[in-house]
Chains A and B, each alone.
Chain A
Amino acid sequence: MSTETTRSGLTWDRLRIPVVVAVLAALPLLFFDPSYTYISRLFILTLVFATLALALNIVFGHTDQLFLFVGALTGIGAYATALTADALGVSPWVTLLFGATLAGVLGALVCYVAARRRFTVILIAILTLSLQLAIIEIFVGARDITGGSTGFRFSGLGLESVQNALGVHEHMVLYYVVLALLTGVLALYHYIRNSKYGMAFDAIRQDEIAAEAIGVDVVRYKTLAGFVSAFVIGLTGPMYAQLESLVLPGMFEFNVIDVLVLIILIVGGIRTMLGPIVGAAVIIYVNEELQATGQWRTVVFGFLLIVLFLYFRSGIVPYLDDVLNERLGLKARIRSLVAD
């Protein structure tokens, strides 16, 4: 009985990424309509937020370092990519990695300092929140470079040759670009979970001092987690900007990005691979439905945040997992009874 459940768990574990990616890859063929970009925008937004939540999952879920500056990191990625591309006169595709690296280095720096100075979770939360607000202030204030609060138009990440060759809408191309990024991050997440890094993260999360005592370099692993997450977030930033065709400070504010990403991560299931995707789909959908109610959207989100954290901290994916396991366990038990 036990071998059977582990074996089915194992195949699911191996098939999970290809199956999910295949399903996601099929969606545009079913739902996208070139004359009606409203739906396609939502699908891309879902992938963008799923990627952000998956990135936060690594650093917050697995190493307990609460990043409250996901918005700022997204912004750094977008601004750095767009502005350097503009200054050098090259395509943003060239400077994409620069923007991501800049965000990654900031993430690593924050985690390094926090780990060296033995920050508790509340300290790193306050530190990153201060950074979030300071960075948005800089986006708004450094008007000469960033264009101030009205920002600037951005459309450098389109692949016009592909678009023209296939005769599809730009959203179709962007969707697959973001999906490629998400697939990469899913694979990375899977790798991390099943490597020495995942083990080290678990050890650190459970007991930092014990982890250090058995030879885990806590500062190094925490810094690494910070770099990886911030890098991915920085890479997602320009995609988000491409979707909105804009780069402006208001897009990267705490209330716009961080609150949503946190809710997505918790709704979907923290420390799970598929949680961020499920969470993003649910929350982006709810968010859109609530647009019709106007201002009540904020009220409902506040309420959701409270209720979810108090009563539903485990999330949808772990919940379904439990239900499924119970079913499978029950079936196996019945079968063993019948065999008797």
Chain B
Amino acid sequence: MDTGIRLIELLIDGISRGMVFALLGVGITVVFGLGGVLNLALGVFSVIAIILAMELFGLTGTLFAAIPLAVLAVSLLGLAVDRSLLSLVYRSEGDERILLGIFTTLGLATFLDGILFITYPSSYSLSSGIASVSLAGVQIRGSSIAVIAIAAAVFAALYYFFSRTYLGGAMRTVLQDETGAILCGISPRRMRTYVFLLSTAVAGLAGILYSFTFEVSVATAFELTIYAIIVSIVGGVTSVLGAAVAGLLLGIVVTFTSAFVGAYISEIVLFGVAIAVLIARPEQIK
């Protein structure tokens, strides 16, 4: 009975972590799928959102204002990056653009990391403010409830956006056939801007949710980027649904291995899965 309860508790923790992974994975997937840029600075946007949310929480006193404002501010930063750096990257084509994308976003990550480290050198976390619930002997942490509820709502919104709205459809069109999209009067460059905004917003929110459960420092940024890339690879890199499913699965796997085998083995398992998928199915990633 006790082990049964423990397993359920772990499963809930795993789902909560998995949903954060899924959001991060989507952040990588949409930008890589649509623009061919592997955004190595994604995790930094998450950490910036956490710090902003923390500061705004101190100012406004309510998370209901702090979180949306922080996400909005991070998207604006995303817009600035898209207009300046990424415009330069998109000038090149093919392999060169991919390499340029890797290096400029790596440079951006290092640059922003450095600035953050000077101003915010310690560890931070946010409290969701929701009390733990006990349900038939199963303890559910308040943070898990908050993460699962918010992430589920975001995924529902993403699903609606991509399947029902004109803009979402236009984005998917560019993903499938860029020339076709142009012929339909859709500007790929504009779609890339929107999609980068979307990815930074999603990454920012994912970071805030992550900080409900874990302590976050500037060094976490790179870790989050790596989780995002692994999830994106396992999910097939160009599929939003794939990233969501892969994130959920990996979150559960990591939670269970770190509970039963050890935290450091769980990290290696994560990398192992990514490497195995890369070697087994490289053709899905163009």
B95 touches A120 (CB 8 A): yes
Expressed in whole angstroms, the minimum distance between the Cβ of B73 and any Cβ of chain A is 20
B264 touches A297 (CB 8 A): no
CB closest chain-A residue, reference B269: A134
Query: Which positions 184-203 of chain A face chain B at CB distance < 8 Å?
Result: none
B226 touches A133 (CB 8 A): yes
Total B residues in contact with A, Cβ cutoff 8 Å: 43
A118 interfacial by beta-carbon distance below 8 Å: yes
B268 touches A130 (CB 8 A): no
Binds A, one of B100-108, B158-166, B206-214, B242-250: B100-108
Known: A140-B264, A141-B268, A304-B107. A122 touches B102 (CB 8 A): yes
Query: Chain B: interface secondary structure?
Result: helix
A305 touches B110 (CB 8 A): yes
A121 touches B95 (CB 8 A): yes
CB closest chain-B residue, reference A113: B279
B274 interfacial by beta-carbon distance below 8 Å: yes
CB closest chain-A residue, reference B41: A302
Q: Chain B contacts of A64 at CB under 8 A? A: 95
**CB within 8 A of B113: which of A140, A296, A298?**
A298
Q: Chain B contacts of A66 at CB under 8 A? A: 99, 102
B103 touches A309 (CB 8 A): yes
Q: Chain A contacts of B230 at CB under 8 A? A: 130
A295 interfacial by beta-carbon distance below 8 Å: yes
Expressed in whole angstroms, the minimum distance between the Cβ of B149 and any Cβ of chain A is 31
Q: Chain A contacts of B274 at CB under 8 A? A: 126, 130
Residue pairs across A and B with CB atoms within 8 Å: the count is 124
**CB within 8 A of A301: which of B110, B264, B271?**
B110
**CB within 8 A of B99: which of A121, A127, A297?**
A121
* Bound CA–CA A138/B267 (angstroms): 10
A298 touches B100 (CB 8 A): no
Q: Chain B contacts of A126 at CB under 8 A? A: 38, 229, 233, 274, 278
A141 touches B275 (CB 8 A): no
A310 interfacial by beta-carbon distance below 8 Å: yes
Expressed in whole angstroms, the minimum distance between the Cβ of B36 and any Cβ of chain A is 8
0/1 per residue, A246-281, Cβ < 8 Å to B? Answer: 000000001100010010000000000000000000
* Bound CA–CA A302/B106 (angstroms): 8
Q: Chain B contacts of A298 at CB under 8 A? A: 110-111, 113-114, 117
B109 interfacial by beta-carbon distance below 8 Å: yes
B114 touches A302 (CB 8 A): yes
Q: Chain A contacts of B98 at CB under 8 A? A: 120-122
Known: A121-B95, A127-B278. A299 touches B271 (CB 8 A): no
B102 touches A306 (CB 8 A): no
Expressed in whole angstroms, the minimum distance between the Cβ of B170 and any Cβ of chain A is 25
Known: A120-B286, A295-B114, A299-B111. A137 touches B226 (CB 8 A): no
0/1 per residue, A125-139, Cβ < 8 Å to B? Answer: 111011101100110
A117 interfacial by beta-carbon distance below 8 Å: yes
Query: Which positions 124-166 of chain B face chain A at CB distance < 8 Å?
Result: none
* Bound CA–CA A130/B38 (angstroms): 14
CB closest chain-A residue, reference B230: A130
A285 interfacial by beta-carbon distance below 8 Å: no
CB closest chain-B residue, reference A259: B110
**CB within 8 A of A295: which of B117, B222, B265?**
B117
A303 interfacial by beta-carbon distance below 8 Å: yes
Q: Chain B contacts of A140 at CB under 8 A? A: 264
B111 touches A303 (CB 8 A): yes
Q: Chain B contacts of A130 at CB under 8 A? A: 226, 230, 271, 274-275, 278
B115 interfacial by beta-carbon distance below 8 Å: yes
* Bound CA–CA A113/B276 (angstroms): 11
Q: Chain A contacts of B113 at CB under 8 A? A: 298, 302
B180 interfacial by beta-carbon distance below 8 Å: no
Expressed in whole angstroms, the minimum distance between the Cβ of A224 and any Cβ of chain B is 20
A123 interfacial by beta-carbon distance below 8 Å: yes
A134 touches B268 (CB 8 A): yes
B264 touches A137 (CB 8 A): yes
B80 interfacial by beta-carbon distance below 8 Å: no
A119 interfacial by beta-carbon distance below 8 Å: yes
B286 touches A302 (CB 8 A): no
Q: Chain A contacts of B99 at CB under 8 A? A: 66, 121
CB closest chain-B residue, reference A266: B103
A302 touches B108 (CB 8 A): yes
Which chain B residues have a beta carbon within 8 Å of chain A's beta carbons? 38, 85, 88-89, 95, 98-100, 102-104, 106-115, 117-118, 222, 226, 229-230, 233, 262, 264-265, 267-268, 271-272, 274-275, 278-279, 282-283, 285-286
Beyond A125-B38, A131-B271, 9 additional pairs, beta carbon < 8 A: A64-B95, A126-B229, A126-B278, A127-B278, A134-B268, A259-B106, A303-B111, A305-B104, A306-B85
7 sample A-B contacts, Cβ–Cβ < 8 Å, listed by A number: A122-B98, A127-B275, A141-B264, A298-B111, A302-B110, A305-B111, A310-B88
Which 7 residue pairs across A and B have the least CB separation, nearest first?
Answer: A302-B111, A305-B107, A298-B114, A302-B110, A299-B114, A141-B264, A306-B107
